[in-house]
Amino acid sequence: MPVTTSFRVGEKVVYPTHGVGVIEEIHCWPGNKAGDARREGGAEQKVYLLRLFANSLRVMVPLTNAQSVGLRRIVKTSEIDRVLAYLADGDCLPEADWKCRFRENTEKMRSGSLLQVAQVLKCLLLISRSKELSFRERKMLDRARYLLISEIAVVKNLADSAAEALLSKALAAAQLRFLPS
């Protein structure tokens, strides 16, 4: 999915590994505060100021870095349907070696692609059926779950619990379920 770096105030976006947020402001940095010293090459730079939905954290992303950090628009409903279909019926071939699998999954999580996050979720759930996940993989599984639920909820205008139910239904079709907390 191509990353678009031209956003408007009020637009909902995804910051990979952090989740959904909204662009609150676009302005030059540093602002009018005395002592602000963030300048690129001594010149002011434009930044997106976004607020993450999960924790109301405010994040500044320079326009010049938006693409490299993977900032993107939320997906369309058709992409959610594609992700749910993959979870219900898509192939997942997890890497056998833990280190290789973790590195591969980390790259997928950072990609910003909702489908790749779904691949991480499905593969880790598949592995968890036969053996216990490591602490780090369990954390990654929880993060993938959160990222999927939060974006599904925003795109389909649902409560998180309803988005989680959609996810659970898709996983059930593949004989998978979320691990107990």
CATH number for the domain spanning 123: value is 1.20.58.1290
What's the whole-model pTM score? 0.86
Predicted pLDDT of residue 1: 43
Nearest to 87 by CA among 35, 123, 60: 123
**pLDDT band for position 145 (50/70/90)?**
very high
- Give dist(CA 32, CA 123) in Å, integer: 48
Between 30 and 98, the higher pLDDT residue: 98
Residues 51 and 90 in one domain: no
Predicted pLDDT of residue 45: 87
**pLDDT band for position 97 (50/70/90)?**
confident
Whether residue 179 has pLDDT greater than 90: no
Residues 65 and 20 in one domain: yes
Residue 111 lies in a domain: yes
Q: How many residues does the chain have?
A: 181
Between 40 and 149, the higher pLDDT residue: 149
Residues 64 and 86 in one domain: no
Residue-range definition of the domain harbouring residue 133: 75-173
Domain endpoint, select from 72, 91, 120: 72
**pLDDT band for position 88 (50/70/90)?**
very high
Q: 12-35 burial by CB neighbour count: b if 16+ within 10 A, else e?
A: bbbbbbbbbbbbeeeeebeeeeee
Whether residue 93 has pLDDT greater than 50: yes
Residue 6 lies in a domain: no
Please state at what angle helix 135-156 crosses helix 98-111, rounded to 10 degrees: 20
Residues 153 and 137 in one domain: yes
Domain endpoint, select from 72, 87, 106: 72
Whether residue 31 has pLDDT greater than 80: no
- Give dist(CA 60, CA 23) in Å, integer: 10
* Number of domains the chain is built from: 2
Residues 102 and 148 in one domain: yes
**pLDDT band for position 44 (50/70/90)?**
confident
Residues 18 and 96 in one domain: no
Q: What is the pLDDT of residues 106-136, one digit of tens each?
A: 999 999 899 999 999 999 999 999 999 999 9
Torsion angle (degrees, nearest 10) of CA 108, 111, 18, 149:
-60
- Mean pLDDT (whole number) for 57-63: 93
Residue 179 lies in a domain: no
Residues 100 and 115 in one domain: yes
Between 125 and 34, the higher pLDDT residue: 125
